Amino acid sequence: MSKIFKSSRIVLDDKAFVLSSTHEQKELNHKAEELAVVEHFDAQAAANQLIEDARLEANEILEEADRHYEERMTAAQASGDAIISDAYDQAKGIMEQAKADGYQDGFNRGVEDSQEIAKQIVDEALSIKSEWNEIRKKVHKEAESEMITLVIEALEKVFDYKVETDQSIIETLIRQGIERISKSHTITIRVSNEDYNHALSIRPMILATSDKIEEMELKRDPSLPSGSCLIDTDSGSIDSSLSIQLDQIKKIFEDLLKGE
Distance CA 75, CA 62 (A): 19
Residues pairing with 16 in the sheet: 11
Stated as kind and residue range, the H or E segment containing 215 is strand 213-220
Cα angle 32, 33, 39 (rounded to 5 degrees) comes to: 85
Q: What is the pLDDT of residue 143?
A: 74
Per-residue pLDDT tens, the chain, 260 aa: give them: 444 444 444 444 444 444 444 555 556 555 555 555 545 445 455 555 555 555 566 556 656 655 655 666 566 556 555 655 565 566 566 656 656 666 566 656 655 765 676 677 777 777 877 777 787 777 777 777 777 778 778 878 887 887 778 888 899 999 999 988 887 778 999 999 999 999 999 999 998 888 888 889 999 999 999 989 999 988 888 999 988 888 888 888 778 767 65
Distance CA 92, CA 100 (A): 12
Q: What is the pLDDT of residue 174?
A: 92
* All structural domains of the chain with their residue ranges: 9-85, 166-259
Q: What is the pLDDT of residue 12?
A: 43
Query: Would you identify the CATH topology of the domain 166-259?
Result: hypothetical protein PF0899 fold (3.30.2320)
Q: Taking the CA of residue 228 as centre, how many other CA atoms within 13 Å lie in the half-sphere pointing to its CB?
A: 15
Q: What does residue 236 show for φ and ψ, rounded to 5 degrees?
A: 150, -170
Q: What does residue 226 show for φ and ψ, rounded to 5 degrees?
A: -60, 140
Q: What is the pLDDT of residue 17?
A: 43
Q: What is the pLDDT of residue 81?
A: 58
